[in-house]
Structure 1
Amino acid sequence: MKSMNGLRVALGVVMAVASIGAWSQGGASAGASAGTAVTASGGMTAKAARQANRALRRKVYAALAKHKEIDAGDISFTAKDGAVTINGTVPDASQINTVAEVAKGVEGVTSVTSKLTVRQPFAQ
């Protein structure tokens, strides 16, 4: 009976040590990739690329928010590797070029594709 309990305890300790070792390896590799954000071949990891794309998109939104004359409620941006695509509608055709110029002026933007359209009034 005592040998059976000792065996259970030993098995429990082995399992605990193995799971802690596996957990620390996963955490170390995740931390290393997040900290360096560069693969061995010199490219960005997928997670780092998504974070960079989100950060660029936020910078474009922030730049557009400074232009109070533009209603940005129906405008959305997507960013991928510096290329920004603008989607949505604006109330006036002149705002299409303004939004594109604002996006081009953001640091990190390499190209801008505008898919903006003019919002048509309901009554006409």
Structure 2
Amino acid sequence: MKSIQARVLAIAATLILAASGNAWAQSGQTASAASGAPAMSGSAAAPASPRQANRALRRQVYAAIGKHKEISAGNISVIAKGGAVTLSGTVTDASQINQVAEIAKGVPGVTSVTNKLTVQKPFGGQ
């Protein structure tokens, strides 16, 4: 009788340990990564959601434009969605329209650029 109870307890303990093995995964880590199984995601440094990826790409485009001091980026809006970037707003010179688009195309992760930039007319001018 005691050997049957010991076996039942051993089996129960094994099942409990197997079921709780996934609970030992650290925060931000999937159960398969904690158990040593290969993770399904491409890289650990990738943003967690498409929204975060879009925000990161948007910041990278702004940073690239900001490196060019001759361009006033204050009136430029950047929208990023899945690698597609849309530029809108105004620049001070017509030559900057294409320049800003080329800068955006050079940012890693940008797959296409839609350029809706216009030249800002001076106050009182035509």
TM-score (norm 1): 0.64
- Name 1:106's counterpart in structure 2: 107
Query: What SS is found at the alignment partner of 2:49?
Result: helix
Look up the match of 2:98: 97
Q: Name the amino acid aligned to 2:113.
A: V
1:1-124 equivalence runs, <5 A: 31=28, 48-124=49-125
Matched residue of 1:60: which SS? helix
CA contact 1:37–1:48 (8 Å) conserved in 2:
no
Distance 1:119 1:49 in 2: 33
Q: 2: CA distance between counterparts of 1:123 and 1:77?
A: 28
Alpha-carbon deviation of 1:123?
A: 1.7
Question: What CA distance in whole angstroms lies between the structure 2 residues aligned with 1:31 and 1:101?
Answer: 37
Q: Determine which structure has more spread, i.e. the larger CA radius of gyration.
A: 2
The structure-2 alpha-carbon separation of the partners of 1:62 and 1:31, relative to structure 1 and needing over 3 Å to count, comes to same
Q: C-alpha separation between the residues in 1 aligned to 2:81 and 2:72? A: 24
Q: List runs of 5+ in structure 2 lacking aligned partners.
A: 1-22, 34-38, 42-46
Q: Is the 8 A contact 1:76 1:86 kept in 2?
A: yes
- CA displacement at 1:32 relative to structure 2: 5.8
Q: Which runs of 5+ in 1 are unaligned?
A: 1-24, 39-44
Greater percentage in helix? 1
Question: What is the root-mean-square deviation in Å for CA atoms of aligned residues?
Answer: 2.6
1:27-86 superposed Cα distances (whole Å, 9 cap, x missing partner): x9x9568x9896xxxxxx9x6100000000000011011101101010010000000000
The number of equivalent residue pairs is: 90
- Tell me: CA distance 1:90–1:37, structure 2 relative to 1, closer, same or farther (3 Å): farther
Task: Give the whole-Å Cα distance in 2 for the aligned partners of 1:37 and 1:87.
Answer: 37
Counterpart CA distance in 2 for 1:103 and 1:53 is 14
Partners of 2:121 and 2:90 lie apart in 1 by: 9
Give the counterpart letter for 2:119 in structure 1: V
